[in-house]
Amino acid sequence: MAPSFWGREARLSDGGGGTPVVVKMENPNWSISEMEQEAVPGSPAGLAAGKAGRGKNARQITWVLLLKAHRAAGRLTGAASAALAVAAAARRRVAAGRTDGDAAPGESTALRARFYGCLRLFVVLSMLLLAVEVAAYLQGWHLQMPEMPEMPGQLAMDGLLAVDGLAASAYAGWMRVRLQYIAPPLQFLTNSCVVLFMIQSVDRLVLCLGCLWIKLRGIKPVPIAADKDDVEAGDEDFPMVLVQMPMCNEREVYQQSIGAICALDWPRSNFLVQVLDDSDDATTSALIKEEVEKWQREGVRIVYRHRVIRDGYKAGNLKSAMNCSYVKDYEYVVIFDADFQPQADFLKRAMPHFKGKDDVGLVQARWSFVNNDENLLTRLQNINLCFHFEVEQQVNGAFLNFFGFNGTAGVWRIKALEDSGGWMERTTVEDMDIAVRAHLKGWKFLYLNDVECQCELPESYEAYRKQQHRWHSGPMQLFRLCFVDIIKSKIGFWKKCNLIFLFFLLRKLILPFYSFTLFCVILPMTMFVPEAELPAWVVCYIPATMSIMSILPSPKSFPFIVPYLLFENTMSVTKFNAMISGLFQLGSAYEWVVTKKSGRSSEGDLVALVEKHTVQQQQRVGSAPDLAGLAAKDSSLPKKDAPKKKQKHNRIYRKELALSFLLLTAAARSVLSAQGIHFYFLLFQGVSFLVMGLDLIGEQVE
């Protein structure tokens, strides 16, 4: 109910009588109920009651409007508070002084500096052009030239020249230069990118149709003679399997992953686990070695290998392990990265697909993610990777028997590795390298969409950014190195075309090129050069359709379709930069940064593993921590003796911020020419770049 003084004020204003008014505060619509006095229509009492009622209605409407204004003011205050919070976070980022220009020791910054310099120059020019256009708009000059059959734009120029003053003449000259020299090449570049965009959209549509066909027809790899009696006959019927686990400073996840691998349901005499440690931290290496020794005492055949000199990164680590003398006793090798946790039946579901198929060199399993709902960044990554595994890998595996090896959760026939030349250290995508070389040798690949292996997604923007740089620079390195080998290979003509035009050019080069050029360069430029047009269907409708198709494999992510579209365009700057560095063999193309893991699922996975395999007592031996005891010990320590947590930080990403200012400036310019859909796209995309540039997405990193 409303406070009592409201009713008193209403009674005093009416002399103590009249119609009582009740304002229901509980109703968000501020509804009013009025009890009218009975009066005979046309009588003096009825006329008086009508006049009083009209007066009361006016006062009621006034109160309602005031209450709604108060409510709107509250909402505006909340929005202002949120904006101030974002501004405060941005101020803290700036005050911290950490930017992506703070390179690590030995890291090349030449390309980064040149690229950022070009963007900075572009931003300055756009702001100058915006100032010119605003001045022209205030003077009433034409912001766009009308199309004329004989001389397009001449009428607007004549109108400007008729105005006295040097400024009008200068603006007319700028319009002439813009029309004759800038608009034609910009329009040509625009049309070229639109064509590439349409080709890539058709490719994505074909992939989606292929996935739909697979679903309708129930197409999937079926093992030959996968009879349960044959599989469980005896240890001699299980092939010898070598399990490799390369890692480097993986302190957060090593324990759960080693435990999951050692729990694989396979005869212990028929598989050997190699823990390949490249850690340069002595404490981490000691913990990993202690964990291996613990499982050795449990009877698991597991060995620990540590390289002092980390040559060749992961490829060098795997190559060194394959040179061991005992490898000749094994027929297959399984690779799991440090954060992967295979199910116990992984080998029993994957290995039968090799039986009776001597031309199959690789069986790849699908990834699933333990932290896909952790934050907005992991949700958007999940959309991308679900499409990759559900559509790209499945369609290529079903119709082409070829796809890019994902580097982990896959089983290789050792003969196929040796026939393809083994692991090479020439690129940062050793998995794609060995897959291409094996394909050129005629080996077939199988993809198992129903066999999943859990892993972890990067939760910070910095870690994800570095991962994407490596994933997009490496393929361009590889394309330079293997182009001649593809041409000279003995595979069929259409397989060569698939490798060159689809696998490399369209999906690894053209996609990041047009995504960055079209939406981050051409679109804002067309706002300042309106003679070059970018149709609305290119800006809105086709990207929205492509986003819907990309999100179909993960239907629960449909509420994030707009953030996903903006996120993909925002990441195009990182992917384009990586693509250029890999294509031209620049210094940053050879950078390898291990993706930071959080190990959020470590405790839960260990508990599940303990319950399943009944090794509670053994889990307290060796390096496995007594979680309850450690927690009690930490709580008993004085505050001054308690271990201090590592401070986390965020970085400012200058390229993203520069593009944010560019897009927001172009959005302001689009308001002058009343280009609605372009304005909204530029505005939201500029805000997206601003959020990424200030590192306001994902978790902080240590």
Distance CA 2, CA 487 (A): 83
Residue 448's pLDDT band (cuts 50, 70, 90): very high
CB 583 within 8 Å of CB 478? no
Residue 94 has pLDDT above 70, yes or no: no
Residue 666: the pLDDT is: 87
CB 588 within 8 Å of CB 469? yes
What are the residue numbers of the active site? 278, 431
Give the pLDDT mean for 219-223.
Answer: 92
Q: Residue 591 contacts by C-beta under 8 Å, 6 or more apart in sequence?
A: 107, 108, 428, 466, 469, 470
Residue 678: the pLDDT is: 87
Residue 452 has pLDDT above 90, yes or no: yes
Residue 142: the pLDDT is: 54
Residue 128: the pLDDT is: 78
Model pLDDT for residues 253-274, shown as the tens digit of each residue: 899 999 999 999 999 999 999 9
Question: Domains in the chain, ordered, with CATH?
Answer: 107-140+197-219+460-598+650-701 (no CATH), 241-375+402-457 (3.90.550.10)
Residue 225's pLDDT band (cuts 50, 70, 90): low
Residue 52: the pLDDT is: 55
Residue 42: the pLDDT is: 52
* 79, HSE (Cβ side, Cα atoms, 13 Å): 6
Distance CA 679, CA 281 (A): 51
Give the pLDDT mean for 310-319.
Answer: 90
302-306 and 332-335: which strand pairing?
unpaired
Residue 176 has pLDDT above 80, yes or no: yes
Please tell me which residue, 586 or 644, carries the higher pLDDT value.
586
CB 515 within 8 Å of CB 569? yes
Residue 51: the pLDDT is: 53
546: nearest Cα among 436, 343, 383, 338: 383
Element (H, E) at 188: helix 183-217
List helix spans (H) across 413-492.
414-419, 430-440, 461-488
**Which SS3 state, helix, strand or coil, does residue 508 take?**
helix
Give the pLDDT mean for 60-70.
Answer: 79
677: nearest Cα among 536, 563, 532, 544: 536
Distance CA 330, CA 272 (A): 9
Please tell me which residue, 111 or 263, carries the higher pLDDT value.
263
Residue 141's pLDDT band (cuts 50, 70, 90): low
Distance CA 209, CA 668 (A): 40
Residue 312: the pLDDT is: 87
Model pLDDT for residues 626-680, shown as the tens digit of each residue: 434 434 444 444 444 444 555 556 778 888 988 988 898 888 888 777 667 888 8
Residue 680: the pLDDT is: 86
Lowest mean per-residue pLDDT among 56-70, 466-480, 600-614? 600-614
Give the pLDDT mean for 155-163.
Answer: 49
Distance CA 570, CA 561 (A): 14
Residue 95: the pLDDT is: 63
Distance CA 362, CA 344 (A): 20
Residue 215: the pLDDT is: 95
Distance CA 443, CA 433 (A): 14
Residue 1: the pLDDT is: 41
Read off the amino acid at residue 441.
K
Residue 391 has pLDDT above 50, yes or no: yes
- Note the Cα 191 to chain centre separation in Å: 28
Structure tokens at 374: 């952790």
Lowest mean per-residue pLDDT among 80-84, 423-427, 488-492? 80-84
Element (H, E) at 244: strand 241-247
Structure tokens at 44: 């003096």
Phi, psi at 367, each rounded to 5°:
-90, 145
Model pLDDT for residues 556-578, shown as the tens digit of each residue: 999 999 999 999 999 999 999 99
CB 472 within 8 Å of CB 582? yes
Distance CA 444, CA 340 (A): 25
Residue 320: the pLDDT is: 93
SS3 content of the chain, % helix, strand, coil (to 5): 60, 10, 30
CB 516 within 8 Å of CB 471? no
Read off the amino acid at residue 194.
V
Please tell me which residue, 96 or 223, carries the higher pLDDT value.
223
Q: Residue 626 contacts by C-beta under 8 Å, 6 or more apart in sequence?
A: 620
DSSP state of 469: H
Q: Which residues pair with 453 in a beta bridge?
A: 342, 367
- Note the Cα 644 to chain centre separation in Å: 32
Residue 436 has pLDDT above 90, yes or no: yes
Residue 114's pLDDT band (cuts 50, 70, 90): low
Distance CA 415, CA 441 (A): 12
Give the pLDDT mean for 93-122.
Answer: 59
Model pLDDT for residues 392-417, shown as the tens digit of each residue: 999 999 999 999 999 999 999 999 99
CB 309 within 8 Å of CB 384? no
Q: Which residues pair with 334 in a beta bridge?
A: 243, 411
CB 275 within 8 Å of CB 245? yes
Model pLDDT for residues 524-546, shown as the tens digit of each residue: 999 888 888 898 899 989 999 99
CB 342 within 8 Å of CB 264? yes
Distance CA 690, CA 83 (A): 13
Read off the amino acid at residue 666.
A
Distance CA 582, CA 554 (A): 31
Lowest mean per-residue pLDDT among 116-130, 552-566, 617-631? 617-631
CB 363 within 8 Å of CB 442? no
Model pLDDT for residues 510-525, shown as the tens digit of each residue: 999 999 999 999 999 9
Distances in Å between the Cα of 300 and the Cα atoms of 509, 552, 618 are 45, 42, 13
Please tell me which residue, 332 or 427, carries the higher pLDDT value.
332
Angle at 194 between CA 191 and CA 198, to 5 degrees: 140
Residue identified by tokens 């890692």 is 247
* 665, HSE (Cβ side, Cα atoms, 13 Å): 24
Give the pLDDT mean for 336-353.
Answer: 94
Lowest mean per-residue pLDDT among 220-224, 302-306, 343-347, 603-607? 603-607
CB 662 within 8 Å of CB 126? yes
Residue 553 has pLDDT above 50, yes or no: yes
Average pLDDT over the chain, rounded to whole? 79
Residue 195 has pLDDT above 90, yes or no: yes
